[in-house]
Amino acid sequence: MNANAAIHPTAIIDPKARLDDGVSVGPFTVIGADVEIGAGTSIGSHCSILGPTRIGRDNVIHAHASLGGQPQDKKHKGEPTRLVIGDRNTIFEFTTFSRGTVDGGGVTTVGNDNWVMAYVHVAHDVVIGNHCIFANNATLAGHVVVEDWAILGGFAGIHQFCRIGAHAFVGMGSLVNADVAPFVIVADKYAVPRGINAEGLKRRGFDAERIAAIKRAYRAVFMSGAPLAEAKQQLAEAATSSEDVARMLAFIESSERGLLR
């Protein structure tokens, strides 16, 4: 443990944990063996961080978060799997992040600059990109992939093995059981496409031309009534002049669970 780490006297830190400069740990928090925490990370009171877990720099982890716990998978037999969290994430109260499983590659991964609100659950083998927002009680089942800048509304539920594309928006309380294409808004109890996330794209600097190309791609796939193969052909033609459309097409073509359409 680094001598410059600020540890409350009631915290319990395993001697085999490694805390870098400027790490602070609040009252009654427990940090287990084989946990590494990067410089400047702040950990609130009553947290549980078990290993093997790696947490990067300048994260803010609020009270009662439980990170690196055993995966909730009956096939898991105690193998040494991992949780890896990047830099500058904000993780609020009562969140739960599980380690990976051998069948899922052995690691649950969270990128950088994510905003994770209270009671969010990140299950085993989930892969989260950067700049994502998860509202209260959003739940990600095992093996889910969430790409950069995606937003999940409160109480949204994502079925195992689903993917949420970059810049997508999942509405409050929606249940997702197939892949959500990049840039698309899905909503309702059983999620269905409702347009593109135009407001979010504007906030991130997408100009009118880029957004118009994404809207045309959306109409081809989700509104035209054309078979998916025909819609993909339209996207392939548009992709020659739009990297965003090319990204949507690549996502659709790589979908294994099926596209939410």
Residue 73 designated active-site: no
User: Tokens standing for 88?
Assistant: 């500058």
User: Tokens standing for 189?
Assistant: 């109890």
User: Tokens standing for 64?
Assistant: 């009662």
Which residue reads 């135009």 in tokens? 198
Task: Kindly name the residue from 46, 62, 100, 125 that is annotated as catalytic.
Answer: 125
**Contact by Cβ (8 Å): 98, 115:** no
Residue 129 designated active-site: no
User: Tokens standing for 258?
Assistant: 């099926």
Task: Kindly name the residue from 142, 153, 157, 171 that is annotated as catalytic.
Answer: 142
Which residue reads 């400027």 in tokens? 22
Task: Kindly name the residue from 64, 124, 143, 167 that is annotated as catalytic.
Answer: 124
User: Tokens standing for 127?
Assistant: 């892969």
Q: How far apart are CA 160 and CA 54, in angstroms?
A: 24
**Contact by Cβ (8 Å): 34, 54:** no
Strand-pair partners of 164: 146, 180
Residue 188 designated active-site: no
| Positions marked active-site | 124-125, 142
